[in-house]
Amino acid sequence: MAQCVRRLVLAATLAAAVALLLCTSSAPVARAAGTGDFTAAQRTNTLAVLQAFGRAIPKLGEKWAGNDFCSWEAVLCNAPDVYVSGISPTYAGTLPEMPVNVDYRHVVIKQLDFSEMGPGLSGTLPASWHSMTSLESLSIEKCESISGSVPPEWGSMTSLSVLNLRGTGISGTLPPQWSGMSKARSLQLQDCDLSGSLPSSWSAIPMLASVSLNGNKFCGCVPDSWDQKAGLVVDIEDKHKGSDCLAAKDCTTTTTKPSATTATTPNLTNFPPTPRTTTEPLTTTSTEAPAEPTTTTEAPAEPTTTATPTNTPTPAPETECEVDGCEVCEGDSAARCARCREDYFLTDEKTCLKHNDGGVAAVSSGVAAAAVVCVAVLFSVGLAA
C-alpha cells in the first residue's frame, strides 16, 4: 500500500513538472531591443546625435564606442524609441550643439536625463536643440553650473511633454514663444535665476497642467489667462497671485530704470554725470563746435584739459577760449574767462593777467600806454615852464 502511494506522488510530481515546462516554453521571452530593430535612417541619424553628446562628455564618449548604441552605458532601446538616463555623476562635460547634416525626422531619442550629473554638467542651453522635435522628456535638474538664458527657439519642440530645469543657474525671462510646445504638460522651472513677467501666451498650450516657478525673481501677477485655464496648477509665491497682487508694480519699476540710464549715457562722453551735463554739452556742441574748426588741433596741446572739466562742468571747454592765460571760459563766451591758469589772475573785465616773479601783477598794455601819455604831458609842461 505504501509503495502504491509513493508511486502516485511521484507521478503527480512528474506531471506538474511537465505542465510547468510546457507553460514556460510557450510564453514569449522578453529581450532588449537592439539597433537591428530600427530602420537604417533611424540608426544613422540617432547615432550622429548621440555621438555629439559623447564628444561633449568625454568620459561618456569613451564608453560609447562602436555603432551599436543600444549596448551603450546609460542608453535604453525600446524600438522605436531611445532613452538616455543614469549618466554617472563622476562624469563632467557640457551640453553640445546639435550636429548639422542630420535628418531629425529620423532621430528617435525620446528622453534625455542629465539630472544625476549635478554640478559636473556646465555650459548653456543650446538653441539648436529645437531640432529634436521627437524629444518628449528633458531633465537637467539640479545642474547648477548650467547658466545663460532660456532659448525661445525651444518653442518648436512640439513633442516635448516634460521639461525639468529645476535648480539650474539659468536666467533671463520666460519666452512667450514656448506657447508653441503643443504637448507640454509639466514645466519645472523653480529655484533658478529667472526674472521678468509671466507670459500670458502660455495659456494657449493645450495640455499644460503644471508650471512650477517658485524661487525666482519674477515681477507682476499670474496672468488672468492662466487662472482661467482649466486644470492648470501654478506653483509660485503668493505675492504673484491675484489680479491685483503685491508684485503688480514690480515690473513697472524694472522697466523704467534702464530707460533713465539710456537717456543720459550718450551725453556723458566728456562730462561728469550731473543733471546739467545732459543739456549744456548738447548746446555747446551744436553751436560752437562748427565755429571752432581748430578745436581738434588744440586739444592735444593742453593735456590738462581732460581732467579739468570734471570739476566744473558748466564752463565751455578750454580749447574754445580766446582769452590769453585762461583755463576755462565763462558759459558759451570765448572772450570772457571764468578761471585763469595758475600763474595768472582774473580781472574784473574777465581777462587774465600774469603775475610777476615777485608776486605783483604785470601792468596791462592799456595801463602802460596811459602812463606813457602822462609822462609825455608832464615833460612838455616842464619844458614850457
For residue 318, CA distances in Å to 120, 322, 349 come to: 59, 9, 18
pLDDT above 70 as % of the chain? 65
Q: Angle at the Cα of 172 (from 170 to 175), degrees rounded to 5?
A: 105
* Burial zone of 131 (CB within 10 Å; 0-12 exposed, 13-18 middle, 19+ buried): buried
Q: Beta 162-164 vs 137-139: how paired, if at all?
A: parallel
Residue 121 maps to a domain: yes
Which of 218, 235, 253 represents a domain boundary (last residue)? 253
Residues 227 and 338 in one domain: no
Reply yes or no on whether the pLDDT at 371 is more than 90: no
Residues 194 and 91 in one domain: yes
* Burial zone of 111 (CB within 10 Å; 0-12 exposed, 13-18 middle, 19+ buried): middle
Reply yes or no on whether the pLDDT at 314 is more than 80: no
**pLDDT classification of 292: cutoffs 50, 70, 90:** very low
**pLDDT classification of 33: cutoffs 50, 70, 90:** low
Q: Which H or E run includes 225?
A: helix 224-227
Reply yes or no on whether the pLDDT at 276 is more than 50: no
pLDDT above 90 as % of the chain? 53
**pLDDT classification of 252: cutoffs 50, 70, 90:** low
Q: How far apart are CA 23 and CA 182, in angstroms?
A: 46
**pLDDT classification of 18: cutoffs 50, 70, 90:** very low
**pLDDT classification of 7: cutoffs 50, 70, 90:** low
Residues 215 and 338 in one domain: no
Amino acid in the structure at residue 204: A
Residue 155 maps to a domain: yes
Residue 154 maps to a domain: yes
Q: How far apart are CA 198 and CA 220, in angstroms?
A: 7
- Full residue range of the structural domain in which residue 51 is found: 35-253
Global confidence as pTM: 0.59
Please state the φ and ψ torsions of residue 217, each to the nearest 5 degrees: -125, 45
Query: Which three cell numbers, joined as nine digits, stand for 99?
Result: 550636429
Phi-psi label, residue 286: left if phi above 0, alpha if psi -120 to 50, beta otherwise: alpha
Please state the φ and ψ torsions of residue 138, each to the nearest 5 degrees: -135, 125
Nearest alpha-carbon partner for 141 in 181, 198, 189, 100: 189
Residues 224 and 319 in one domain: no
**pLDDT classification of 59: cutoffs 50, 70, 90:** very high
What mean pLDDT do residues 122-134 have? 97
Q: Beta 233-235 vs 210-212: how paired, if at all?
A: parallel
Amino acid in the structure at residue 31: R
Q: How far apart are CA 340 and CA 346, in angstroms?
A: 6
Nearest alpha-carbon partner for 208 in 180, 241, 185: 185
Residue 2: what pLDDT? 53
Residue 108 maps to a domain: yes
Residues 317 and 218 in one domain: no
Backbone Cα Rg of the chain: 41
CATH of the domain at 190: 3.80.10.10
Reply yes or no on whether the pLDDT at 224 is more than 80: yes
Which of 253, 272, 297 represents a domain boundary (last residue)? 253
Average pLDDT of the chain to the nearest whole number: 77
* Burial zone of 37 (CB within 10 Å; 0-12 exposed, 13-18 middle, 19+ buried): middle
Residue 199: what pLDDT? 97
Q: Range with the lowest mean pLDDT among 63-67, 250-254, 321-325? A: 250-254
Q: Range with the lowest mean pLDDT among 7-21, 120-134, 263-277, 313-327? A: 263-277
Please state the φ and ψ torsions of residue 296, each to the nearest 5 degrees: -70, -25
Residue 283: what pLDDT? 39
Residue 297: what pLDDT? 41
Residue 283 maps to a domain: no
Query: Which three cell numbers, joined as nine digits, stand for 1?
Result: 500500500
Q: Range with the lowest mean pLDDT among 175-179, 221-225, 298-302? A: 298-302
Please state the φ and ψ torsions of residue 195, each to the nearest 5 degrees: -145, -175
Please state the φ and ψ torsions of residue 352, each to the nearest 5 degrees: -120, 130
Residue 192: what pLDDT? 97
For residue 249, CA distances in Å to 197, 225, 240 come to: 11, 19, 11
Reply yes or no on whether the pLDDT at 77 is more than 80: yes
**pLDDT classification of 151: cutoffs 50, 70, 90:** very high
**pLDDT classification of 35: cutoffs 50, 70, 90:** confident
Residue 293 maps to a domain: no
Tally of structural domains, the chain: 2
Reply yes or no on whether the pLDDT at 317 is more than 60: no
Nearest alpha-carbon partner for 240 in 230, 249, 231: 249
What mean pLDDT do residues 48-62 have? 97
Query: Residue 241: beta bridge partners?
Result: none
Taking only the tens place, the pLDDT of each residue in 202-220 is 999 999 999 999 999 999 9
**pLDDT classification of 330: cutoffs 50, 70, 90:** confident
Q: How far apart are CA 26 and CA 82, in angstroms?
A: 29
Query: Which three cell numbers, joined as nine digits, stand for 356?
Result: 610777476
The residue with cell 548604441 is: 69
Contact 107, 97 (CB under 8 A): no
Please state the φ and ψ torsions of residue 381, each to the nearest 5 degrees: -65, -40
Residues 248 and 318 in one domain: no
Residue 306: what pLDDT? 42
Q: Beta 210-212 vs 186-188: how paired, if at all?
A: parallel
Residues 118 and 218 in one domain: yes
Q: How far apart are CA 187 and CA 233, in angstroms?
A: 11
Taking only the tens place, the pLDDT of each residue in 93-120 is 999 999 999 999 999 999 999 999 999 9
Give the chain's length.
385
Which of 253, 276, 291 represents a domain boundary (last residue)? 253
Residues 321 and 240 in one domain: no
